[in-house]
Structure 1
């Protein structure tokens, strides 16, 4: 059997940017889909959530193992690590925003925890044009566009705040339809979501594939086959990617030593953690931190002396 490979992008066709970064992007749907003959092949964003608002046309959408055909007006929510592909009609119109998911989740956990399932659940949401909540959607998308296209002090903070307001409207529309709208209803997709939730909750405990499989009521082999079929990667890859994502963010945005970080992520030995990190990223934790801090300061990636662990 030939193992398929699902591309991982920042935006479709672009090289993926680091998942530890804070960023957001705005585009009109035809900008990217038009040059691709209205076809966006299945791919994954490792750290980014997307919200698409179709105001005209139709779309055939794949979200993990589920497929839908929907007409405008509608909203699509595509969380990080969701395999998704889209085929638009040539008359499509609408907007799409892409943002780093973890900062949005952090804001939601403080401001409105009910937004967390909105951010994390792949969703196809029909819009009733008469809905008073729907009236607020396009003004918010346009505000995000203005913030994105005119960089100024506090751009990321303003953008993330506007996106949080946009997610509030999505939640209100869901409530008005009296449905939780988890568009992924297949058994396979439900199992994947349970697995992801388990990994998010316990990745700091050196979670094993066997332990996950046991908790989900499947064998380790079944879980790995399921992940390869739906996500294009193994179950161990899912766990390792979550650990690396957290490690990269802490290395960039905190002064935590490598030894402290290793312990916080469930590694008893700093050297073992460093070997694990290098295998996953091609760099040691110290090399990664030095390189990124140099880039962020606008200097060349020269060796940086870091505190000992």
Structure 2
């Protein structure tokens, strides 16, 4: 029953309350004595993070998926997402950690395409834009280390530019979302927000449609344009992602996970998981736990 994924204020430090406009900037190398290039799976429940990596050819973990870090990369990590990494000690990154309030200040009134590009965790190869991203991250770092008048506003301005570049990069690469108009993007963003709040309650698509004040046609059109999936598939996918997270990072029994995710019973949960993943929850857990050892 005890969760095995630690959560921190800043890595290695116990959780604490933060101010509404809290920002913290440091380099991964600042804590190398603590982690020596290996940061175990953890999360920051109240902090969003942006990190810019150089010479970081290692592994990066997001939830249950392990990815390869390219030499130059940018990671978008929303609050509460489980993550970790293994990189050579020479690899380094500038990490900007922001409270919900500061993040909201940065994204308020932004184009819907930008907000949608930041809806989930991302690991981006940014080699072709390394100079631009590097300069902006270094400006944020300088503002943090050498505070002056209007420090928070200056850092927020640089963060906004970083977010705009991320969205532009996505547009240039024809990432998901290119097939939906601005109105559809706003609807999709609102849907993602509701989904995060209520997926454990097993809301039907009809309930989301009602709460959003739209139609099933418009919601599905936005979902297919943004993700090439139906709204129902996105709901199922979010539930399965959370199930994997609980199976891999907690000691909860399968019937407890079933209850946590709003299923009627363990049988219904196991059937849904097998249909999505191709393995029973118990088998999937055993295989992935063995791979972590």
Conservation of the 8 A alpha-carbon contact between 1:60 and 1:67? yes
CA distance in 2, matches of 1:195, 1:83: 22
1:137 aligns with 133
2:107 aligns with 108
Mapping of residues 121-160 of structure 1, within 5 Å = 121-128=120-127, 131=128, 133-160=129-156
Superposed displacement of residue 213, structure 1: 7.0
CA distance in 2, matches of 1:115, 1:236: 35
Task: Establish whether residue 229 from structure 1 lines up as the match of residue 247 from structure 2.
Answer: yes
CA distance in 2, matches of 1:168, 1:30: 27
SS in 2 for 1:120: coil
SS in 1 for 2:170: helix
2:12 aligns with 13
CA distance in 2, matches of 1:45, 1:196: 20
SS in 2 for 1:68: strand
SS in 2 for 1:18: coil
Unpaired segments ≥5 residues, structure 1 = 182-192, 240-309
Superposed displacement of residue 92, structure 1: 0.6
1:185 aligns with none
Unpaired segments ≥5 residues, structure 2 = 178-188, 208-231, 263-293
TM-score norm. by structure 1 comes to 0.59
SS in 2 for 1:151: coil
Q: Deviations over 1:7-51 (max 9, x none)?
A: 111211112232663211111221124531211111111121212
SS in 2 for 1:114: helix
2:119 aligns with 120
SS in 1 for 2:49: strand
Q: Deviations over 1:36-92 (max 9, x none)?
A: 121111111112121221121312111012110122111111111110011111221
Conservation of the 8 A alpha-carbon contact between 1:47 and 1:102? no
- Cα gap change, 1:208 to 1:35, in 2 (>3 Å): closer
2:61 aligns with 62
CA distance in 2, matches of 1:174, 1:25: 26
Mapping of residues 254-273 of structure 1, within 5 Å = none
Conservation of the 8 A alpha-carbon contact between 1:51 and 1:98? yes
Conservation of the 8 A alpha-carbon contact between 1:108 and 1:164? yes
2:50 aligns with 51
CA distance in 2, matches of 1:107, 1:198: 21
Conservation of the 8 A alpha-carbon contact between 1:47 and 1:100? yes
CA RMSD of aligned residues (A): 3.6
2:26 aligns with 27
1:165 aligns with 161
SS in 2 for 1:86: strand
Conservation of the 8 A alpha-carbon contact between 1:29 and 1:96? yes
Conservation of the 8 A alpha-carbon contact between 2:48 and 2:103? no
Q: Which of 166, 172, 175 is residue 176 of structure 1 equivalent to?
A: 172
- Cα gap change, 1:134 to 1:15, in 2 (>3 Å): same
2:203 aligns with 212
Conservation of the 8 A alpha-carbon contact between 1:59 and 1:69? yes
Greater RCO, 1 or 2 (C-alpha within 8 Å, sep 6+): 2
